[in-house]
Structure 1
């Protein structure tokens, strides 16, 4: 392959890419209007998978002859329908929700790291410390909890004078760890 081919493009290709990109964009906006904004949320692992799959289909459709624009849009329509069905199943059939979704997990509470949970999440204490610093914390004693959410994001809940609403923590694995102060708290 000659290096010139890396930089070459003709007018037909420009027109084809432009029309495919515009068509895909319009189709994607229509699907989003029909199915709702959740389509691009980062709420769960299947939402993330949907976003990655759409990006891959978009790239293939816009930058190559195959799949065609209609094939790409059909594939995206199937993904939107699948996501809608999975979301409906999650809402209506509670036992299946745990099979579909990851559960949030406690990484730290009352200044104490939970090594087993960190290992399961494939994280180190340094990863948690980075998130604490990004949240403007200077001490572990400022932390009520650090939670790895179902999206992979870490939530930092600070200690304050407001008593916890325990219902907020019902769906988190090992949430009972939040209810007892750590033996390290006095340090």
Structure 2
């Protein structure tokens, strides 16, 4: 009886994880590297909403730990599969998108990605560039950050450090 209850928690946790992954991917959200207030509120509400879906009536410490262990394990496995499979990685991750090329803004892409003028100006200022026309290349990276390259070799391109670079075995060949 107890084993069936924990198996139920495992299946529920797997289902919630897969649902959340698909929901984030299908709604076009980038990886949650730059959160605004509404994103934080959404995450808090979703975590509260799915808690009972994962553990059901089991509110014990063991039930919560089983659910957390399933989520950590599934996330670990998913990262390993993404590292080894380009197809799977492409299925789950966003592609970098060019926002500015040689000072020319791609308004269609900015609109598609929902990037406001204020957000883009903030990103170029963070990279030490004052005007759009001074931007050689602005790219919305797969992790949700905006990289800026200017034509000025004297400017330090970024104060922001990415969490880590992702390389796969396919990228090393």
Q: Is the 8 A contact 1:113 1:125 kept in 2?
A: no
Higher Cα radius of gyration: 1
Q: Is the 8 A contact 2:137 2:148 kept in 1?
A: yes
Distance in 1 (CA, whole Å) between partners of 2:126 and 2:80 is 36
**Number of aligned positions between the proteins:** 110
Spell out, residue by residue over 1:84-116, the C-alpha distance to the aligned partner (whole angstroms, 9 max, x if none): 111111121211211111112111121111112
What are the within-5 Å matches in structure 2 for residues 65-84 of structure 1? 67-84=59-76
Q: Is the 8 A contact 1:47 1:83 kept in 2?
A: no
1:87 corresponds to: 79
**Corresponding position: 1:107 with 2:99:** yes
Distance in 1 (CA, whole Å) between partners of 2:112 and 2:122 is 18
Structure 1 unaligned blocks of 5 or more? 1-43, 163-187
Q: Is the 8 A contact 1:110 1:141 kept in 2?
A: yes
Runs of 4+ with >4 A deviation: none
Shift of 1:160: 3.8
Distance in 1 (CA, whole Å) between partners of 2:101 and 2:64 is 46
2:148 to 146, 156, 159: 156
The normalised TM-score by structure 2 is 0.52
2:4 corresponds to: none
- Report the secondary structure of 1:96's partner residue: helix
Structure 2 unaligned blocks of 5 or more? 1-29, 35-42, 155-173
The normalised TM-score by structure 1 is 0.48
Spell out, residue by residue over 1:18-48, the C-alpha distance to the aligned partner (whole angstroms, 9 max, x if none): xxxxxxxxxxxxxxxxxxxxxxxxxx73899
